[in-house]
Homo-oligomer: A and B are copies of this chain.
Amino acid sequence: MAVSKRGAEAKSDPVHFNARIEGIDYDVLDDLVGYAVRRAQLSIYEDFAATLAAEDITPQRFSSLVIIENNPGISQTKLAEVMGIARSGVVSIIDRFEKGGLVERHASDDRRSYSLHLTRDGKRQLKRYKKTVLDHDHRIAQALSGAEKKLLRDLLKKLCPLPGA
């Protein structure tokens, strides 16, 4: 069944998500919008991870960089709100970026908070990441036409509660 390993050591099977396994009855899962989204998300995440395995980046970190680039001077608390994570989580993300020389914490008017900015190197790197992520995004959606992609994005948007709702 499985391909033989070269050495004598028995290793664990590589973990991989298959949205549909032959012969399995998924019952109600096939009718749930939520499960369809989850299923797609797992597939997409796997391709993202494989595509950017060499880089020290994740969907989370990529999003953070994009948000900082396009909202320069944003505070850590605001970034936490945008990402939907705790403030303490942003600390480690920014620490990592700062160590990597991608992001800088600048002083701001309110001396309690930092003003986040991409460094020149951060901008350069993000440009590269963007190219790779766009490639990845085109690949995972290659079965869809441009119109279908737009339609899909619009339908998905309707699943997210509006700010005032």
Residue numbers of A with Cβ under 8 A of B are 12-13, 15-22, 24-29, 32-44, 48, 59, 63, 66-67, 69-71, 78, 81-87, 130, 133-134, 136-137, 140-141, 143-144, 148-149, 151-153, 155-163
- Find out whether the CB atom of A34 lies under 8 angstroms from the CB atom of B44: yes
- Find out whether the CB atom of A137 lies under 8 angstroms from the CB atom of B32: yes
Given known contacts A41-B38, A67-B24, A32 and B151 CB-to-CB distance under 8 angstroms:
no
- Measured CA separation A82–B69 after assembly (Å): 39
Interface of A is mostly: helix
Q: How far is the CB of A10 from chain B (nearest CB, A)?
A: 13
What residue of chain B has the Cβ atom nearest to residue A43's Cβ?
B160
- Find out whether the CB atom of B38 lies under 8 angstroms from the CB atom of A59: yes
Residues of B close to A84: CB separation below 8 A? 15-18, 42
What residue of chain B has the Cβ atom nearest to residue A164's Cβ?
B22
- Find out whether the CB atom of A59 lies under 8 angstroms from the CB atom of B34: yes
- Find out whether the CB atom of B155 lies under 8 angstroms from the CB atom of A24: no
Which 4 pairs from chain A and chain B are nearest by CB?
A17-B84, A19-B160, A143-B158, A25-B70
Given known contacts A24-B67, A152-B33, A159 and B141 CB-to-CB distance under 8 angstroms:
yes
- Find out whether the CB atom of B144 lies under 8 angstroms from the CB atom of A28: no
Residue of B48, B78, B156 near A36 (CB, 8 A) is B156
- Measured CA separation A140–B89 after assembly (Å): 27
- Measured CA separation A163–B66 after assembly (Å): 34
- Measured CA separation A12–B78 after assembly (Å): 14
- Find out whether the CB atom of B136 lies under 8 angstroms from the CB atom of A40: no
What residue of chain B has the Cβ atom nearest to residue A155's Cβ?
B152
- Measured CA separation A42–B140 after assembly (Å): 19
